[in-house]
Amino acid sequence: MTVPDILQYLNVLKTSSSIRLAQLVSIFISVWLTAAGIIHLLENSGDPLDFNNAHRLSYWTCVYFLIVTMSTVGYGDVYCETVLGRTFLVFFLLVGLFYVSGKGQVY
């Protein structure tokens, strides 16, 4: 059972547009928190050829980093130092851009 299903069962969500909005918000938040976890894992483990170059970031710093990066502000105070972290971030942003542009619709 998903969060929108629970909210619909509790009569919090009644219209189809509010149900759809709740679905999209829950998908966005879950993808965002999962991507922050992947960035956290990749940055703290280091590059495969040199594990000594790990960039110590907390999980919540990675969440903040993705908020700033996804909003295209990019303050520059937190950034990916490992090759794996940068590569994942490029693919994550390209896929996100694809879906935000409307080419990849989530149903």
73: domain CATH number is: 1.10.287
Share of the chain above pLDDT 90, in %: 21
Check: CB of residue 100 under 8 Å from CB of residue 31: no
pLDDT of 59: 93
- Asked if residue 96 is part of any domain, the answer here is yes
Q: What is the pLDDT of residues 30-56, one digit of tens each?
A: 889 999 999 999 888 887 877 676 678
- Asked if residue 107 is part of any domain, the answer here is no
If one counts the domains in the chain, the total is 1
Q: Which of 99, 96, 43 is nearest to 69 (CA)?
A: 96
User: 78 lies in which domain range?
Assistant: 3-102
- Asked if residue 42 is part of any domain, the answer here is yes
pLDDT of 69: 86
Check: CB of residue 40 under 8 Å from CB of residue 56: no
- Asked if residue 48 is part of any domain, the answer here is yes
- Asked if residue 69 is part of any domain, the answer here is yes
